[in-house]
Amino acid sequence: MSYVCDIGTGQTIYLENQGMQTVVTTVSHTPGQQQQATNQFQTGSWTQPPEMYKTAQGVIIKLRTEWGDRFMQIQGGTIHATAGHPSFQNAQQLNVQPTQSTPSQEMPEMQPMQPMQPMQPMQMGNMQMNPMEMRMGNMEMRMGNDAPQSQRKFCPQCGVGVKASDRFCSSCGHKLTS
């Protein structure tokens, strides 16, 4: 039989005794993200349901097994077996419930992510930047496939974009050379 305990802070712990092994699965769920980690420990067969306690150092799992009491500690995302009897000073016993489901069945379903909105232009004084173009005053620079490299030209006098076929700048009247 499996057991589950919600330890708060978006973490749920699943415990299962498989022969001489105890399988501990931690499931962390935050909006838009779910993580799961499983560890196995050689503990012997359980003789009683597991107990869990919240302490200042993390969460302690207490297992009564055919080999005696066994303890594991969860600190953040790390689970490790502890040697000896840990301190239960100021510990709060957590509610451990039997469950028939596996962690993957209990995890809330991920909602599909919405596509990102296009980046909005940034404006600083008279300078405006889009993801692939920049304008400052009457000068403009573009990157991408919107204009072939051979056709991208600028007036050497004022910086305004001009066509390859232009003979004079439409902004300042400067004579353009080919």
3-state helix, strand, coil in the chain (%, to 5): 5, 50, 45
Tokens read off for 24: 């501990």
The phi-psi region of residue 146 (left if phi > 0; otherwise alpha if psi is between -120 and 50; otherwise beta) is alpha
- Asked if residues 27 and 107 have their Cβ atoms less than 8 Å apart, the reply is yes
Task: Give CB contacts under 8 A, 24+ apart, made by 163-166.
Answer: none
pLDDT tens, position by position, 136-164? 777 777 765 554 444 557 888 888 888 88
Tokens read off for 78: 């790390």
Q: What is the model's pTM?
A: 0.57
Domain boundaries, the chain: 2-106, 122-162
Please state, for a pLDDT cut of 70, what percent of the chain lies above it: 83
pLDDT tens, position by position, 12-66? 899 999 989 999 988 887 777 888 888 999 999 999 999 999 988 889 999 999 9
- Asked if residues 14 and 3 have their Cβ atoms less than 8 Å apart, the reply is yes
Q: Which helix (H) or strand (E) holds 104?
A: helix 103-106
The most distant pair of C-alpha atoms in the chain lies apart, rounded to whole Å, by 96
Nearest to 60 by CA among 104, 96, 10: 96
The pLDDT score that the predictor gives to residue 83 is 81
| Residue where the block lists tokens 């080919």 | 178
Q: Of 13-27, 53-67, 69-83, 94-108, which range is least confident?
A: 94-108
The pLDDT score that the predictor gives to residue 148 is 46
The pLDDT score that the predictor gives to residue 171 is 87
Confidence band, pLDDT 50/70/90 cuts, at residue 103: low
Q: Of 9-23, 73-87, 92-106, 122-136, which range is least confident?
A: 122-136
- Asked if residues 44 and 37 have their Cβ atoms less than 8 Å apart, the reply is no
